[in-house]
Amino acid sequence: MVFPGMTIVQGSTKCTLAYVDTTNHIGYSAGHCNSDGQVRDTAGNRIGTVLYSHTNRAGQPTTGSQDTVIDYEAISLQRSAGTVTNLLGPTFTRPLITQPGLQPQPGMPVCHLGATTGRSCGLIADVHPGWFTINPGRYDLTSDHGDSGGPVYTYTRASGANPVLIGIFRGRHGQQLAAVSWPDTQQQALKDATATPSNN
């Protein structure tokens, strides 16, 4: 089964799958996870191949508030990979959906789901070009190796009880956590899809 929140393995790198577009059979995760174009589950079964991957902060020691961040990969999911679902693991009770027009905002309550640490929640602190930071607020907030690429989601009046994707988790940023914005990632993916697929 392929689902948002599962562990994906690329070479020696383990990350978390952020989102599954069940219509087009495309999965999304963090671009810095792409150490190998082949994507497998923890049992070693190939579940997909990277279509395109884009990360612009590789090798940079720090990321400032004015820096634009791009960090995602689009994965073509194999039809032979079994059930492909947008139900958020590990409970599979609610679909992870997208909501056109929804943008990350300071103070927005969000949660991220990492394959290593599970569900962890906080508040968006600051929004920067293409990315945002998260503070614990009155919530728990944690991450560890293997959580990169996982979904960052919120809830809205329109979505009801269904989680809405707002970002893709990157990792720690000082004392905060950081994620790339899903709306900005979508725009970048459209640009990259029109170009020759490559790792940038």
Q: State pLDDT tens for residues 143-188.
A: 888 999 999 999 999 999 999 999 999 988 888 899 999 999 999 9
Domains and CATH numbers, the chain: 7-89+186-193 (2.40.10), 109-181 (2.40.10.10)
Mean pLDDT over each residue of the chain, to the nearest integer: 91
Residue 114: how many other CB atoms lie within 10 Å: 25
Residue 71: how many other CB atoms lie within 10 Å: 29
Are the C-beta atoms of residues 26 and 77 closer than 8 Å to each other? yes
Residue 200: how many other CB atoms lie within 10 Å: 12
Low pLDDT (below 70) residues in the chain: 58-61, 138, 196-200
Query: What's the Cα-to-Cα distance from 191 to each of 11, 98, 164, 199, rounded to whole Å?
Result: 27, 19, 23, 14
User: What's the pLDDT score for residue 63?
Assistant: 78
DSSP 135: E
User: What's the pLDDT score for residue 35?
Assistant: 82
Give CA angle at 92 (136, 104), nearest 5°. 35
